[in-house]
Amino acid sequence: MRLTRQILSCTLLLAGSVPLGQAQSRGDLFPRTTDGIHLEMVFNYLQADITKESGHVDMVWGSNYATAPSGVYNTAYIPYSVDNFSYSVSWYQQNHPDWLEYQCDQKTLAFEFGTTTLAPLDFANPEVQAFQWSNWVDAPISQGFGGIAIDTMYLTNEWSRCGHFDPAGKWMQQYSGNYSDPVFRKAVLDWEAATYQHVHGFSPTATMQVNVVYQFDQPRKDNRQMMTTTDLVLDERGFTNWGGGHVTPDEWLGIVNALRYVQSKGVCNMVNGEVNGLTSKITEAQKLWIIANYLLIKNDCTYMYMEGYTPATGQDYGRLILFPEYRIKIGRATSDMFKAQGVWERKYSNGFVIVNPYDRSAKVKLPRGTWENVNHKRVGQFIQLPEHAGQILLKSEG
């Protein structure tokens, strides 16, 4: 679930103010997130007792359960370019060899993420699309899932796809095989649009979520189209760069700009907070950076999650991970985000959020009142916020 190439930073102007009110109709089926912190668990395939999700998790992106536990909105995981579920590579070679996608040497299958067990499919083929929709979309929705969650959609040709052989064995080149290819980009966008239309045509209450990030080295128009031809965007990169550390100031502004544009179009979003190292070793500073950024951009259908890595260095997905900071009683936003004192700030009914995405520390004067940090320790009139840091302050109860 991770983009493998380095993204290119670019400075984007912050989008216009996004209203604090209800999102448009496409996101209305998702749980509301007006007050406090709301979680969307990525997977739950390792969670033995899913009843523990109740009261903590609003949604599960790729759930193993259609309707349980009660009160949790579940969507079913599907890929778009490989077969994770149905058949092996050898099955396709014997039954649908023309569905398999190759690199430009016409010999090497365009496998993804280093695996050689998941068949790479020609998703531009209408027959492949019909197969995907019938088996991976219609089936889980009919079982009671709220919708589908599509993984790793890129505008770039990450795996050097080039073409396929037709039923007669003739080579059919589709793409250049290059990382950046406008023909490939169009094929991805066409697949997404067709699948989005199919989901909503199959069920008026079904939704579609997509794991996609803004790619700064690709056209803005195509980025925006991909991020709004859906009901919810899962930004797996988040503000921690897939666990690679903080994003640069330009990247930070670009991510904020993209997510606010998504929100302005009525599309919901989830911001993932992946941290390098064991989940149990995530520091308070790292948690505050992730949560403060979430609160800075949150509207009424914005979710988050935090995780590190397993001892085997895999992404720590599949189990419920809770942190005390999720219970911070900050209330609801009473202002939009704004830039002041060299940082970004936002007011809440019971608190104040500060994010410093820049490469230098900042001295910040707090609003009038008595403030305490998340550990209930009083703070003075000024705080010194380090570079690439977040802070959440609460109105003092003393």
CATH of the domain at 377: 2.60.40.1180
Q: Is residue 21 a part of any domain in this protein? A: no
Over residues 336-395, the pLDDT tens digits come to 999 999 999 999 999 999 999 999 999 999 999 999 999 999 999 999 999 999 999 999
Inter-residue contact 82 to 118 (CB < 8 Å): yes
Other residues' Cβ atoms within 10 Å of the Cβ of residue 281: 11
Q: Which of 286, 318, 350 corresponds to the end of one domain?
A: 318
| pLDDT band at 61; cut points 50, 70, 90 | very high
State residue 398's pLDDT score. 60
Ranges 3-7, 119-123, 179-183: which has the least confidence: 3-7
pLDDT of residue 328 exceeding 50, the answer is: yes
pLDDT of residue 32 exceeding 60, the answer is: yes
State residue 352's pLDDT score. 96
State residue 4's pLDDT score. 37
Q: Are residues 349 and 301 in the same domain?
A: no
Q: Is residue 3 a part of any domain in this protein? A: no
| pLDDT band at 288; cut points 50, 70, 90 | very high
Q: Is residue 8 a part of any domain in this protein? A: no
Residue 310 belongs to a domain with what CATH number? Answer: 3.20.20.70
Q: Are residues 278 and 240 in the same domain?
A: yes
| pLDDT band at 313; cut points 50, 70, 90 | confident
Q: Residue 27: phi, psi to the nearest 5? A: -100, 5
For the chain, what percent of residues have pLDDT higher than 90? 91
Q: Are residues 366 and 309 in the same domain?
A: no
| pLDDT band at 25; cut points 50, 70, 90 | low
User: Which residues, in sequence order, are bridge partners of residue 363?
Assistant: 384
Q: Which of 284, 318, 352 corresponds to the end of one domain?
A: 318
- Which secondary structure element, helix H or strand E, spans residue 7, and what is its range? none
Q: Which is more confidently placed, 226 or 28?
A: 226
- The number of folded domains in the chain is 2
Q: Are residues 52 and 118 in the same domain?
A: yes
Residue 149, Ramachandran bin (φ over 0: left; ψ between -120 and 50: alpha; else beta): beta
Over residues 171-200, the pLDDT tens digits come to 999 999 999 999 999 999 999 999 999 999
For the chain, what percent of residues have pLDDT higher than 70? 93
Give mean pLDDT, residues 126-146. Answer: 98
Q: Are residues 349 and 300 in the same domain?
A: no
Ranges 20-24, 129-133, 254-258, 296-300: which has the least confidence: 20-24
Q: Is residue 1 a part of any domain in this protein? A: no
Supply the range of the domain harboring residue 349: 331-398
Q: Are residues 181 and 156 in the same domain?
A: yes
Q: Is residue 192 a part of any domain in this protein? A: yes
State residue 1's pLDDT score. 67
Q: Which of 279, 295, 318 corresponds to the end of one domain?
A: 318
Strands (E), 121-206: 147-150, 163-165, 171-173
> Count of alpha carbons within 13 Å of 261, Cβ hemisphere only?
21
| pLDDT band at 27; cut points 50, 70, 90 | confident
Over residues 192-221, the pLDDT tens digits come to 999 999 999 999 999 999 999 999 999 999
Q: Which of 254, 267, 282 is nearest to 357 (CA)?
A: 254
Q: Are residues 363 and 285 in the same domain?
A: no
pLDDT of residue 16 exceeding 60, the answer is: no
Q: Both ends of the chain: CA-CA distance in Å?
A: 45
Distance CA 91, CA 393 (A): 57
The distance of Cα 88 from the centroid of its chain, to the nearest Å, equals: 28
Gyration radius from the chain CA atoms: 22
Q: Is residue 277 a part of any domain in this protein? A: yes
Inter-residue contact 31 to 59 (CB < 8 Å): yes
State residue 13's pLDDT score. 40
User: Which residues, in sequence order, are bridge partners of residue 43?
Assistant: 62
Distance CA 302, CA 308 (A): 21
pLDDT of residue 22 exceeding 60, the answer is: no
Name 285's Cβ contacts closer than 8 Å, sequence gap at least 6: 389
| pLDDT band at 26; cut points 50, 70, 90 | low
Q: Are residues 41 and 167 in the same domain?
A: yes
Strands (E), the chain: 39-43, 57-62, 73-78, 82-83, 119-120, 147-150, 163-165, 171-173, 207-211, 232-235, 268-278, 302-309, 338-340, 343-348, 351-356, 362-365, 371-372, 378-379, 382-385, 389-395
Q: Are residues 245 and 97 in the same domain?
A: yes
pLDDT of residue 7 exceeding 80, the answer is: no
Burial code (b: 16+ CB inside 10 Å, e: under 16) for 319-349 equals bbbebebbebebbebeeebeeeeebbbbebe
Inter-residue contact 359 to 346 (CB < 8 Å): no
Distance CA 90, CA 113 (A): 19
Q: Are residues 87 and 235 in the same domain?
A: yes
pLDDT of residue 2 exceeding 80, the answer is: no
Q: Is residue 278 a part of any domain in this protein? A: yes
Q: Is residue 207 a part of any domain in this protein? A: yes
Q: Are residues 260 and 354 in the same domain?
A: no
Model's pTM, two decimal places?
A: 0.93
Q: Are residues 312 and 346 in the same domain?
A: no
